[in-house]
């Protein structure tokens, strides 16, 4: 009787928690859509801001967000995947390996503002990249690197050892086994980590606060050594400028809606690719 009672309470508690979480998410998205949709039009998407961001559009911020996200992903993905392969396939179990794993796990939980200070000290000042797309993209790459490493490591561990043994039995070398057997099987799960990283890189404000973002500009960046507008920083600037003109608040909600839509589109595209890859599996 007690087991049934505890089971009933536990199951209903989980259901209530799930329903509450979904309700909060739905409520948040609904507010952004309702308030942001009022200013969404073709001019808002394709035109630069006017009159110090009280009118006009957010096109430079959209382009800047794309540049920063793309740069961070193409830098962090190869390094993260190679590191994950090394940790699983080549490293030996010892205190140094344990220290590396603890460090990677710790980096995953560090507040993003710490990465902003790191990017300012290293990329902006030490390497003299200045406040630029390059500095911001590299800072975001460092921030998302632990996520990609951990996901790659877990994805490779899920590949059955029978696959490796079969490849070795056919005379394949370790490197050939990893490239032709392990990675193709683990790639859909690795892509999951990259999907999460894309969303985080596109939506972070703090890491680009001191390294890449500019408050206001009407022109597009011509190189990665120039500063740029970005959607998350644009929202922050609109809501903390001080005057908070009535025309700025709707623009901030519209910008948030565009950022949300871009993240959904990028994630949806990556999920589609992952789905196609998983359907192609023959086991």
pLDDT of the residue at 225: 94
**What confidence score (pLDDT) does residue 283 get?**
57
Residues of the chain above pLDDT 70, percent: 95
pLDDT tens digit sequence for 113-122: 999 999 999 9
Q: Are 71 and 133 in contact (CB under 8 A)?
A: yes
Tell me what pLDDT residue 280 has. Answer: 62
Given a cut of 60, is residue 244 above it in pLDDT?
no
Q: What percent of the chain has pLDDT over 90?
A: 36
In a shared domain, residues 1 and 81: no
Q: Do 46 and 31 share a structural domain? A: no
Output the CA–CA distances (angstroms, integers) from residue 267 to 38, 43, 185, in the order listed: 25, 25, 21
User: Alpha carbon of 272 to those of 76, 153, 190: distances in Å?
Assistant: 21, 22, 14
Q: 3 pLDDT band (50/70/90 cuts)?
A: confident
For residue 200, give its domain range.
42-279
CA distance 219 to 163: 53
Q: In the predicted model, is pLDDT for residue 226 greater than 60?
A: yes
Could you tell me if 82 and 25 lie in one domain? Answer: no
CB 39 within 8 A of CB 254: yes
Instruction: Look at residue 204 and give its three-state secondary structure.
Output: coil
- Say if residue 237 is in the same domain as residue 175: yes
Sign of the four-CA dihedral 101, 271, 187, 194: negative
pLDDT at 224: 92
Q: Are 52 and 216 contacting, i.e. CB atoms less than 8 angstroms apart?
A: yes
pLDDT at 137: 95
Are 245 and 116 contained in the same domain? yes
Residue 189 has pLDDT above 60, yes or no: yes
How many domains would you assign to the chain?
Answer: 2
Dist CA 11 CA 5 (whole Å): 10
Residues 67 and 27 in one domain: no
**CB-side exposure of 124: number of CA atoms within 13 Å?**
22
Q: Say yes or no: 15 and 97 in one domain.
A: no
Does residue 130 share a domain with residue 6?
no
Q: What pLDDT digit, counting tens, does each position of 84-102 carry?
A: 999 998 888 888 888 888 8
Domain match, 264 and 244 both: yes
Same domain? 4 vs 56: no
DSSP state string for 22-43? HHHHHHHHHHHHHHHTTT-SHH
* CATH number, position 192: 1.10.3720.10
Is 0.85 surpassed by the pTM of this model?
yes
Residues 21 and 151 in one domain: no
Read off the pLDDT of residues 23-65 as tens digits, 9 standing for 90 and up.
988 998 899 889 888 888 888 898 888 877 777 889 999 999 9
Place of tokens 């259901």: 15
103 shares its domain with 210: yes
Helix (H) or strand (E) holding 55: strand 55-56
């Amino acid at each position: 009787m007690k087991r049934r009672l505890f089971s009933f309470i536990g199951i209903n508690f989980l259901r209530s928690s799930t329903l509450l979480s979904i309700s909060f998410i739905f409520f948040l998205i609904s507010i952004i859509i309702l308030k942001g949709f009022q200013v969404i039009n073709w001019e808002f998407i394709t035109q630069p801001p006017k009159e110090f961001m009280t009118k006009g559009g957010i096109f430079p911020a959209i382009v800047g967000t794309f540049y920063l996200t793309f740069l961070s992903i193409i830098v962090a993905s190869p390094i993260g995947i190679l590191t994950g392969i090394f940790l699983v396939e080549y490293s030996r179990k010892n205190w140094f390996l344990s220290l590396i794993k603890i460090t990677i796990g710790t980096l995953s939980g560090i507040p993003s503002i710490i990465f902003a200070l790191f990017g300012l000290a290293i990329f902006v000042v030490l390497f003299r990249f200045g406040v630029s797309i390059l500095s911001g993209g590299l800072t975001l790459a460092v921030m998302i690197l632990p996520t990609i490493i951990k996901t790659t490591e877990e994805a490779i561990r899920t590949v059955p050892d029978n696959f490796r043994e079969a490849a070795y039995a056919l005379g394949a070398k370790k490197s050939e086994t990893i490239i032709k057997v392990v990675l193709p099987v683990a790639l859909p799960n690795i892509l999951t980590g990259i999907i999460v990283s894309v969303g985080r890189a596109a939506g972070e404000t703090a890491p680009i606060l001191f390294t890449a973002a500019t408050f206001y500009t009407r022109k597009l960046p011509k190189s990665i050594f120039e500063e740029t507008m970005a959607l998350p920083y644009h929202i922050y600037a609109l809501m903390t400028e001080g005057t908070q003109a009535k025309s700025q608040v709707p623009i901030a909600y519209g910008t948030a809606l565009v950022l949300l839509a871009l993240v959904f589109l990028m994630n949806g595209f990556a999920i589609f690719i992952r789905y196609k890859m998983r359907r192609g599996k023959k086991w």
